[in-house]
Amino acid sequence: MNRYLTIKELTDTVEEGITPRMVRHYHQLGLMPQPVRSPSNYRLYCDQDVQRLKRIVALKQQGFQLSHIHKLLEVEPKSEQATMLLQLQQQYRSVMQQIAQLRQTATALEGLLGRDRSCQLVQAEALSQLKQLDVDTHASLNGLETLWSRLDAEVHSHPEAFQESLQRLLPDLSDRPEIEVSLLTQLVLACGDVSLVPFVKLSRGSQNAIAAARNALQTGCTIVVDTPLVAAALDHTRLAHLGCAIQPLISNPHLHKTSEVEQAFWQHPMFDQSIKHMPDGCILVIGYAPSILLAICEAVAAGTIQPALIIAMPIGFSHAPAAKRQLMQSDIPYVTLEGTLGGGLLAATTLNVFAESLLEKPDCHCFLSC
């Protein structure tokens, strides 16, 4: 770049929704260095500024907060990997501490909002007490304990009304098809974590995951799972009624940990061959090993296999997120959980919801309107 850019030209070059106002804010925070000025006092930017702003945008898109980005950019010029890793580790611990505090707040809110009608009288009293509490005093903390004790005493008088509670706790899903709402609800009930809803990703459009699942199940497709643990959580009665056989890639029933399944896949080349010989039109349900999903994505890209749907919820902290991103970039219908979230129970629950919806509402086409 041989000439300077104005702030408007800078934002047009970087794009990604960046505005001049945001750039000025980054100057105030120290994220962007103060630029040189023209004789008319306009900010002028060079290629180095463009690259720095692109780096800020990229880090924001990865979920880093501005305060964390500032620290990362400060340490970057030193080119010291150990320093960078230490900085990231400190930031991670800080974020996890914030998450823990937010989780405590969310749990308290769930404890109030999740009360059903049978608890509403006590709930109303609790809310009234809550408004009067000064949580900075020791006496008021004791009052909070008394409040929870009164609320908890009500749970012995009736069963929990899950659907009623979820109506208050789930985000607005009115724009989602009925089957997808059922899926999200059952996934939340399988793990007790409402916050996973935004991380559930289904392919749409011409590769509609719900349509692919129903079409494959109607033909009595083979269900290929990564381990017997996933197979055990499947609804065998409904799948048998649909004529679907269940086939595990790894048949060792003694593998109970994600790490064990991952190692088994790497130590036995026959599993890689099993992937290459999967029947076309099958549904793959992956709940544990991320390397299995990576191998499946490679086989799909090479045209070696052609599954009807991939339900991918492996657990892991580096390979699993990467494998899921690779899956979402493929042309195969999928259901997955972004990031490290996952597990065999959630993967099996997904398929069970599809099988149940097909049998109970075989003519439902609500998912095609979205």
Is 186 a residue whose pLDDT tops 90? yes
> CA-to-CA distance for 189 and 201, rounded, in angstroms?
17
Is 141 a residue whose pLDDT tops 60? no
> CA-to-CA distance for 192 and 181, rounded, in angstroms?
16
Q: Residue 205 CB: number of other CB atoms within 10 A?
A: 7
Which of the four pLDDT bands, split at 50, 70 and 90, describes residue 184? very high
Fold of 7-78: Multidrug-efflux Transporter Regulator; Chain: A; Domain 2 (1.10.1660)
Residue 250's SS3 state is coil
Quick one: pLDDT at residue 139? 46
Q: Which residue has the higher pLDDT, 130 or 236?
A: 236
In terms of Cα–Cα distance, which of 349, 354, 353, 346 is closest to 324?
A: 346
pTM over 0.75? The answer is: no
Residue 44's SS3 state is strand
Q: What is the enclosing helix (H) or strand (E) of 283?
A: strand 283-286
Indicate where the chain has its CATH 3.40.50.10230 domain(s): 170-369
> CA-to-CA distance for 206 and 200, rounded, in angstroms?
19
pLDDT above 70 as % of the chain: 84
Is 246 a residue whose pLDDT tops 60? yes
Is 182 a residue whose pLDDT tops 90? yes
In CATH terms, the superfamily for domain 170-369 is Cobalamin biosynthesis CobH/CbiC, precorrin-8X methylmutase (3.40.50.10230)
Q: Which amino acid is at 136?
A: D
Phi and psi of 336, rounded to 5°? -150, 170
Is 35 a residue whose pLDDT tops 70? yes
Q: What is the DSSP letter of 171?
A: P
Which residues share a beta bridge with 44? 36
Is 328 a residue whose pLDDT tops 70? yes
Quick one: pLDDT at residue 220? 97
Residue labelled with tokens 């749970």: 155
Our CA angle for 236, 241, 243, nearest 5°, is 90
Quick one: pLDDT at residue 253? 79
Tokens of 175: 């724009």
In terms of Cα–Cα distance, which of 307, 334, 312, 301 is closest to 204?
A: 334
Quick one: pLDDT at residue 76? 53
Q: Residue 291 CB: number of other CB atoms within 10 A?
A: 22
Quick one: pLDDT at residue 95? 78
Taking only the tens place, the pLDDT of each residue in 68-86 is 788 777 765 545 666 777 7
Cα–Cα distances (Å) from 369 to 173, 257, 307, 356, in that order, read 15, 40, 24, 20
**What number is the average pLDDT over the span 202-219?**
94
Indicate where the chain has its CATH 1.10.1660.10 domain(s): 7-78
Q: Which residue has the higher pLDDT, 152 or 27?
A: 27
Residue 312's SS3 state is strand
Tokens of 70: 């500032």
